């Protein structure tokens, strides 16, 4: 943030803030308030108070604290401007402490800079310079070149009052060959040069620098500096004899200061104005301005400014012959000036009192004051001041010298004359006044030094010529400077006018933007409706709010433009019945439709015609409802007031019609979209149903085939076994019969499904047991015995059969019986599978479309869908179910079955039916604590991150052309949202995808 910003930048900032309106950024508002502190102090204070209540809007604590410090400093400067120095000191020092805590060097520097005005008001030059030096150090630490240069120039300006020679050297070193880095720096550089030139008596240069300083100060909004520059520049104009310019400049500066309630600056320029008025002979006005100045500076009695006002008052009283009043002013200020230890003011006070005492005939007092003034000049070592005092003493009347030294009055005077002449010879650019030279010549002639007297008379004549030529030169220079100043003023005025025009244009634009924003919000409300009746109602409400509309009607027009149908109409608060009327050529509504333009009618009472059931009106406005070049209809409003619709109303109505046309087109498109969506959703559901039917057909076909095959095998094996079994039983020996019966008893054991490896291991163990019993060809018989449910533990009971000659016959009969039993078990398993599938299908079909949510189990819902997808899952896919919760919710079972069907089908396709499918139910945590979370995860290819955000968009699909409609996940999302839930995904390419569905848990 700049210390003082150029007007152009402030204008841009103000335009930006006005255009943003209530949405203006807080940093912009803070900057604008800061830069308004001298341009418009009242506004700056209002903005500061408003911003103080919005500091919480800064999220960053550092920025919030910095803004608070800046606002405190702003209020401190405003208090200082209004001479509330106690308040100003507390605010500025508080801001300084805050900036130190924030380690903000530029803020620290700005606070020290603000303290300068307080030390100037209190007349403390030492602290003033210390504050400037502290500001300079802070700016150097902050690296702000523009601030550094401005502070350097300000410091030179203040030092010029203490040591003009040193200040001049520093000015040349710093700024002699350097361009200003900112308008603020330029203003102080020029003002320092102006002051230094005044001190050297180079009035014309000082005046030019002063004029440039004023313009630079005005250009960056430093109005107080402009006032002080105007004071110095007016003094230069007055010295050059251009009293009109001096007066005009002080009047302008007084206006600047008054507008900003800057008491010190206003008093300062009023002082100078009173001197210019006195030189113009307007003494009453001069005194009035001086009294006004004293009243303004009254609160600053302890300041150097009050002393300056008293000195000026004393000088005015002297020039008007009010001697005693002048003495009172000078004596009143003498102690104050000495307390401030400003030698120049002390010397001026002594000179003023000496002139007052001379007017009153108090020679001794006059001589004493001049001697005291000389002592001050000698103590400072300033030769120019010493020269002034020697000249004043030399011109002291004889009475003054006789009183002080009656014996040798001329010796004292001659000493002063000789001292003045000697000093004038060694001082550059110093010319003794003509009156002094003539007086000195008379003094030398009186004592008989005629040659010296002649030389002085010649110098006096040269001085007269020089004064005459200088006067002419000064008048010419003043005229040129006046022209240059007028040009600068004109340029500045033009810039100010441009800035004001830009601000006004911005204000107008802001108002227009507000109107547009209002219309925009109205338009958004209108176009948000997707129902034609709602569109008509919303349009009617806003027409009533914005315009005089006794009657409001919307007509749809046929494609041939021959008839119009009233689809919505309200008159005097009553709904107008729907009707169709012809579009007559020449009628306003016909012209509006054919020409596609707004038509305004203001019929006379005897020309009014109206629709049946409506009332006559005196103002009618028609506008087409057009979108993309297609005429949908026309909208009309009517008023019983004549000429009710001007340009503003027409513009508003056109905007409303445009929004209305868009909304009606959207409603039409939405209805078509709804129909298309119903069709596509039905197609999607039919596709899902087709997949289910295919899965169910495949699932049922397998067990049916197993039943058929097993039934045929049972028939064959039973026929063979029943044929051979009686004969076999008759042929058995008493030892063999129990063993055969034991073997047959083993067939009652449950059929155990063994893997190939498990079956081979069991055959091997049984063969080893048979060999241990001494059975020959044990391995050939082991496989048959295992089919007959024999284990190694059963082998000892079968020992009687192992040596039987009928072993093969026995094993063949028992094997056929075992085969029949196994096939019967297969049939039972197949029948159970078919039963389970039929039950799942019946459950799926029974769900139907519930009108309201019903209590349901997510576990059962998922189990049903998984059963129907078993054929797709069991070949190459590992199914992992993790049901940590029953998942009780209130929902629509058929719609959720469609969700699981779609997600499971997508997961299987993503894995190409080979991988791990994980389905889980768990209670939610955190934000989803009151939800049941269903997760369906696959180990497929994954979804790229750049398209994950589009995965739920309608018609978006990652599947090849022809394999997906792109509506599946869109339908899933809508179903989940209907359940007040949400769905999201987590996916990584090459790892897999997990879809999670959070559904509100059911009521206990």
pLDDT of residue 511 exceeding 50: yes
Distances (CA, A) of 365 to 73, 326, 369, 408: 50, 15, 6, 19
pLDDT for the residue numbered 90: 93
Cβ 92 vs Cβ 80: under 8 Å: yes
Q: Which of 396, 456, 402 is nearest to 424 (CA)?
A: 456
Higher pLDDT, 878 or 963: 878
pLDDT of residue 678 exceeding 80: no
CA distance 962 to 657: 43
CA distance 718 to 726: 13
SS3 letters for 742-808?
HHHHHHHCCCCCCCHHHHHHHHHHHHHHHHHCCCCCHHHHHHHHHHCCCCHHHHHHHHHHHCCCCHH
> Which DSSP state fits 617?
-
Q: 2-11, 315-324, 662-671, 849-858: which range is least confident on average? A: 849-858
Q: Which of 222, 221, 154 is nearest to 190 (CA)?
A: 154
User: What's the mean per-residue pLDDT of the chain?
Assistant: 80
Q: pTM (2 decimals)? A: 0.49
pLDDT of residue 98 exceeding 90: yes
Angle at 29 between CA 25 and CA 34, to 5 degrees: 150
CA distance 465 to 121: 43
Place of tokens 């063999």: 736
Average pLDDT of the segment spanning 719-748: 74
pLDDT for the residue numbered 72: 94
Contacts (Cβ under 8 Å, ≥6 apart) of 95: 69, 70, 72, 73, 76, 107, 111, 114
Q: At what angle do helices 736-745 and 647-731 cross, to 10 degrees?
A: 170
pLDDT for the residue numbered 622: 94
CA distance 10 to 7: 5
CA distance 68 to 491: 38
CA distance 792 to 778: 13
> Which DSSP state fits 161?
T
pLDDT of residue 182 exceeding 90: yes
pLDDT of residue 846 exceeding 50: no
Report the b/e string of 890-912 with b at 16+ CB within 10 A: bbbbbbbbbbbbbbbbbbbebbe
Higher pLDDT, 864 or 993: 993
CA distance 18 to 510: 6
Cβ 47 vs Cβ 536: under 8 Å: no
Report the b/e string of 160-194 with b at 16+ CB within 10 A: bbeebeebbebbeebbeeeebbbbbbbbbbbbbbb
Chain centroid, CA 899 distance in Å: 42
pLDDT for the residue numbered 410: 42
pLDDT classification of 470: cutoffs 50, 70, 90: low
CA distance 213 to 193: 9
pLDDT for the residue numbered 406: 44
- Joined together, the tokens standing for residue 15 give 């335009």
> Which DSSP state fits 397?
-
CA distance 15 to 759: 91
Contacts (Cβ under 8 Å, ≥6 apart) of 348: 311
Contacts (Cβ under 8 Å, ≥6 apart) of 775: 781, 802, 803
CA distance 452 to 461: 14
pLDDT of residue 723 exceeding 80: no
Average pLDDT of the segment spanning 888-909: 88
Query: Do strands 992-1000 and 599-601 pair parallel, antiparallel, or not at all (unpaired)?
Result: unpaired
Please, what is the end-to-end C-alpha distance for the chain in angstroms?
Answer: 62
pLDDT of residue 541 exceeding 70: yes
Query: Do strands 888-891 and 915-923 pair parallel, antiparallel, or not at all (unpaired)?
Result: unpaired
pLDDT classification of 555: cutoffs 50, 70, 90: very high
CA distance 482 to 488: 10
CA distance 55 to 47: 12
- Name the percent of the chain lying above pLDDT 90: 21
Cβ 44 vs Cβ 36: under 8 Å: yes
The alpha carbon dihedral of 807, 813, 816, 820 has a sign of: negative
Average pLDDT of the segment spanning 166-178: 89
Neighbours of 379 (CB within 10 A): 11
pLDDT of residue 473 exceeding 80: no
Q: Which residues pair with 54 in a beta bridge?
A: none
Place of tokens 């001007």: 646
């Amino acid at each position: 943030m700049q210390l003082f910003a150029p007007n152009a930048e402030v204008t841009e900032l103000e335009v930006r803030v006005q255009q943003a309106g209530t949405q203006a950024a807080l940093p912009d508002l803070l900057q604008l308030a800061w830069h308004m502190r001298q341009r418009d102090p009242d506004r700056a204070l209002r903005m500061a108070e408003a911003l103080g209540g919005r500091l919480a809007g800064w999220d960053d604590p550092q920025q919030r604290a910095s803004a608070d410090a800046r606002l405190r400093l702003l209020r401190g400067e405003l208090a200082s401007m209004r001479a509330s120095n106690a308040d100003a000191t507390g605010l500025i020092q508080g801001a300084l402490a805050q900036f130190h805590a924030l380690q903000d060097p530029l803020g620290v520097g700005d606070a020290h800079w603000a303290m300068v005005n307080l030390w100037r008001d209190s007349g403390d030059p030492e602290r003033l310079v210390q504050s400037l030096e502290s500001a300079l150090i802070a700016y150097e630490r902050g690296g702000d070149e523009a601030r550094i240069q401005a502070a350097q120039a300000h410091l030179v300006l203040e030092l010029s009052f203490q040591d003009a020679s040193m200040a001049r050297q520093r000015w040349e070193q710093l700024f002699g060959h350097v361009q200003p880095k900112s308008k603020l720096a330029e203003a102080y550089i020029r003002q320092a040069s102006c002051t230094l030139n005044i001190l050297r008596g180079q009035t014309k240069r000082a005046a030019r620098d002063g004029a440039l300083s004023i313009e630079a100060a005005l250009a960056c909004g430093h109005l107080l500096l402009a006032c002080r520059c105007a004071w110095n520049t007016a003094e230069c104009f007055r010295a050059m004899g251009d009293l009109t310019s001096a007066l005009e400049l002080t009047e302008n500066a007084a206006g600047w200061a008054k507008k900003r309630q800057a008491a010190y600056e206003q008093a300062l320029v009023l002082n100078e104005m009173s001197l210019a008025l006195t030189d113009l002979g307007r003494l009453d006005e001069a005194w009035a301005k001086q009294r006004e100045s004293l009243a303004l500076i009254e609160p600053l009695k302890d300041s150097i400014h009050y002393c300056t006002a008293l000195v000026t008052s004393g000088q005015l009283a002297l020039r008007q012959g009010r001697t005693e009043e002048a003495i009172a002013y000078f004596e009143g200020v003498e102690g104050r000036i000495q307390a401030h230890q400003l030698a120049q003011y002390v010397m001026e006070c002594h000179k003023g009192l000496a002139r007052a005492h001379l007017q009153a005939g108090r020679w001794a007092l006059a001589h004493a004051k001049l001697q005291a003034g000389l002592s001050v000049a000698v103590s400072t070592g300033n030769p120019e001041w010493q020269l002034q005092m020697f000249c004043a003493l030399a011109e002291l009347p004889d009475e003054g010298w006789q009183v002080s030294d009656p014996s040798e009055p001329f010796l004292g005077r001659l000493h002063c004359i000789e001292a003045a002449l000697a000093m004038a010879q060694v001082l550059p650019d110093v010319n003794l006044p003509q009156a002094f030279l003539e007086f000195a010549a008379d003094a030398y002639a009186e004592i008989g030094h005629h040659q010296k007297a002649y030389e002085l008379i010649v110098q006096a004549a040269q001085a007269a010529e020089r004064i005459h030529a200088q006067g002419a030169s000064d008048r010419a220079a003043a005229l040129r400077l006046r022209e240059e100043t007028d040009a600068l003023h004109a340029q500045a005025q033009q810039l100010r006018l441009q800035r004001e025009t830009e601000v006004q244009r911005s204000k107008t634009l802001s108002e227009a933007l507000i109107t547009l924003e209002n219309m925009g919000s109205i338009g958004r409300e209108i176009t948000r409706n997707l129902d034609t009746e709602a569109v008509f109602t919303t349009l009617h409400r806003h027409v009533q709010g914005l315009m005089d509309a006794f009657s409001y009607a919307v007509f749809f027009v046929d494609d041939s433009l021959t008839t119009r149908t009233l689809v919505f109409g309200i008159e005097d608060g009553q709904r107008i019945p729907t009707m169709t009327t012809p579009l007559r050529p020449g009628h306003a509504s016909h012209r509006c439709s054919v020409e596609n333009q707004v038509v305004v009618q203001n019929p006379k009472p005897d020309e009014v015609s109206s629709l049946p059931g409506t009332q006559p009106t005196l103002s009618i406005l028609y506008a087409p409802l057009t979108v993309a070049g297609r005429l949908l209809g026309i909208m009309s409003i009517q008023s019983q007031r004549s000429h009710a619709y001007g340009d503003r109303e027409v513009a508003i109505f056109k905007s409303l019609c445009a929004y209305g046309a868009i909304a009606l087109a959207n409603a039409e498109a939405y209805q078509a979209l709804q129909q298309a969506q119903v069709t596509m959703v039905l197609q999607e559901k039919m596709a899902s149903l087709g997949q289910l039917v295919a899965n169910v057909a495949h699932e049922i076909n397998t067990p049916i085939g197993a039943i058929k095959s097993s039934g045929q095998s049972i028939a064959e094996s039973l026929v063979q076994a029943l044929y051979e079994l009686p004969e076999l039983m008759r042929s058995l020996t008493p030892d063999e019969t129990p063993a055969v019966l034991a073997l047959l008893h083993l067939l009652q054991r449950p059929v155990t499904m063994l893997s190939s490896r498990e079956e081979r291991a069991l055959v091997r163990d049984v063969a080893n047991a048979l060999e241990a019993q001494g059975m020959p060809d044990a391995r050939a018989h082991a496989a048959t015995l295992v089919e007959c449910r024999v284990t190694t533990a059963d082998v000892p009971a079968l020992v009687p059969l192992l040596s039987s000659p009928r072993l093969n016959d026995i094993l063949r009969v028992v094997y056929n019986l075992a085969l029949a039993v196994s096939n019967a078990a297969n049939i039972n398993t197949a029948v159970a599978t078919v039963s389970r599938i039929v039950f799942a299908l019946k459950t799926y079909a029974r769900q139907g479309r519930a009108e309201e949510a019903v209590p349901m189990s997510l576990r059962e819902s998922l189990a049903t869908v998984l059963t129907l997808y078993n054929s797709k899952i069991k070949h190459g896919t590992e199914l992992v179910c993790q049901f940590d919760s029953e998942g009780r919710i209130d929902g629509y079972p058929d719609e959720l079955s469609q969700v699981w069907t779609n997600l499971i089908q997508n997961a299987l396709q993503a894995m190409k039916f080979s991988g791990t499918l994980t389905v889980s139910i768990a209670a939610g945590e955190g934000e989803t604590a009151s939800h049941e979370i269903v997760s369906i995860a696959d180990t497929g290819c994954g979804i790229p991150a750049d398209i994950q955000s589009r995965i739920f968009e309608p018609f978006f699909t990652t599947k090849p052309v022809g394999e997906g409609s792109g509506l599946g996940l869109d339908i899933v999302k809508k179903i989940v949202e209907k359940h007040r839930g949400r769905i999201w995904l987590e996916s990584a390419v090459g790892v897999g995808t997990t879809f999670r569905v959070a559904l509100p848990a059911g009521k206990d």
